[in-house]
Amino acid sequence: MKHIFVVNPAAGGGRAPGYVREHFGGREDLEIYETRAPRDAVDFVRRRSAQSREELCFVACGGDGTVNEVASGLAMNPRDCMTILPLGSGNDFVKAFGGAAGFLDGEALLSSVPRPIDILKVGDRWALNAFHFGLDAAVAKTMADVKPKPIIGGRNAYPTGVVKALIFDMRTYCRMTVDGEELCDGDILLCTVANGEYVGGSYRCAPRSRQDDGLAEVCLVTPVSRLRFLTLMNAYKAGTHLEDPRFDPMVRYRRGKVIEVKGKPGFIVSLDGEIAEGTSFRVEVISGGLRFAAAGARETAGV
């Protein structure tokens, strides 16, 4: 299998290309490609796969956005696979497989065996880790805006987004169904449709998630006061909210294959941190829709 490293040159504060060349450069069985613009990785992966007659493994070198683009280029590809060299600030998806350490082990990364996992189809786009809206999407939008900035950006982009959202985005209207069952028709605080476990770098929003069961985890939180939100944030971050009785009045949790969401004009959603706007979204779990090689994966991971 030939490994192709798809490198976001801005990842790791601009250190990603140097890191990849230092640890993997000079090997004849590897190829390195630096992306040139947003969505370039999607086109490159599709084009490079179509040109090859041998099995390829694309290594997404960067953060969650790079992972999303490589996964989008490979979705429904029965031959080729992907893995991740986590060089971004969040690295959310690898946390479902024990975290970044196993993926940063070069030998483990190159010898990892691909297996089919689920991926979320959202219209003509894809989400590997999570599709979310409400406060979470407002946070993701702010993250994208401030990420390049000093102090409030980088690893602090998520806390910055939370603070801004707590001021301006505590209520969002939506109508939502999960496999035909109405889950909401009114205001919410936030909702996550998850294939992975984490969002925002350290918030374990979907602790029961598995990546190969053909189901998405849907966790909807109804509006609460800012003070109550702050008192509960640590439990949500730790992933104990589904067992914590304090959340019972405000959490609606389901597992499903098809999730339909309707909002008002200006409604925004996040697909692995990538922002989209619209009034109607259909999320479908594509079982086994992506071949993924989990380097150093823990035994309890969902593959």
Instruction: Examine the domain organization and report whether 83 and 211 are in the same domain.
Output: no
Q: Does the residue 298 lie in any domain?
A: no
Backbone angles phi, psi at 290, to 5 degrees: -145, 140
Q: Does the residue 102 lie in any domain?
A: yes
Beta bridge partners of residue 4, listed in sequence order: 31, 58
Instruction: Examine the domain organization and report whether 143 and 281 are in the same domain.
Output: yes
Q: Does the residue 245 lie in any domain?
A: yes
For 20-26, which contacts have Cβ atoms below 8 Å and span 24 or more sequence positions?
20/61, 20/85, 23/106, 24/106
Q: Does the residue 300 lie in any domain?
A: no
Instruction: State yes or no: pLDDT of 295 exceeds 90.
Output: no
Instruction: Examine the domain organization and report whether 91 and 164 are in the same domain.
Output: no
Instruction: Examine the domain organization and report whether 62 and 106 are in the same domain.
Output: yes
Which CATH number fits the domain that encloses residue 169? 2.60.200.40
Instruction: State yes or no: pLDDT of 181 exceeds 60.
Output: yes
Instruction: Examine the domain organization and report whether 147 and 232 are in the same domain.
Output: yes
Instruction: Examine the domain organization and report whether 222 and 154 are in the same domain.
Output: yes
Instruction: Examine the domain organization and report whether 136 and 64 are in the same domain.
Output: no
Q: Does the residue 301 lie in any domain?
A: no
Q: Which residues contact 278 (CB under 8 A, 6 or more apart)?
A: 263, 267, 269
Q: Does the residue 299 lie in any domain?
A: no
Instruction: Examine the domain organization and report whether 132 and 279 are in the same domain.
Output: yes
Mean pLDDT of the 238-250 span:
96
Q: Does the residue 136 lie in any domain?
A: yes
Task: Give 42-65 pLDDT, tens digit per residue.
Answer: 999 999 999 999 999 999 999 999
Mean pLDDT of the 181-209 span:
95
The half-sphere exposure of 181 on its side-chain side, counting CA atoms within 13 A, is: 10
Q: How high is the pLDDT of residue 139?
A: 87
Instruction: Examine the domain organization and report whether 275 and 190 are in the same domain.
Output: yes
Residue type, 260: E
State the pLDDT confidence band at 301, using cuts at 50, 70 and 90.
very low
Write the secondary structure of 173-196 as one string of H (helix), E (strand) and C (coil).
Answer: EEEEEECCEEEEEEEECEEEEECC
Q: How high is the pLDDT of residue 12?
A: 81
Q: Are strands 56-62 and 81-86 parallel, antiparallel or unpaired?
A: parallel
Instruction: State yes or no: pLDDT of 302 exceeds 60.
Output: no
Q: SS3 for 172? A: strand
Instruction: Please identify which residue in the block is written with the tokens 């998520």.
Output: 158
Instruction: Examine the domain organization and report whether 113 and 226 are in the same domain.
Output: no
CA distances in angstroms from 85 to 124, 126, 161, 220, 278, listed in the order given: 26, 20, 25, 31, 32
Q: How high is the pLDDT of residue 147?
A: 80
Instruction: Examine the domain organization and report whether 42 and 136 are in the same domain.
Output: no
Mean pLDDT of the 266-281 span:
94
How many domains is the chain partitioned into structurally?
2
Q: Which residues contact 231 (CB under 8 A, 6 or more apart)?
A: none
Structural domain range at position 251: 127-285
Instruction: Examine the domain organization and report whether 109 and 254 are in the same domain.
Output: no
Joined tokens for residue 63: 């953060």
Q: How high is the pLDDT of residue 193?
A: 97
Q: What percent of the chain has pLDDT over 70?
A: 97
Q: Does the residue 144 lie in any domain?
A: yes
Asked whether the beta carbons of 235 and 183 are under 8 A apart, the reply is no
CB atoms within 10 A of CB 27: 10
Which CATH number fits the domain that encloses residue 93? 3.40.50.10330
State the pLDDT confidence band at 297, using cuts at 50, 70 and 90.
low
Mean pLDDT of the 76-98 span:
94
Instruction: Please identify which residue in the block is written with the tokens 């702050």.
Output: 230
Q: How high is the pLDDT of residue 299?
A: 42
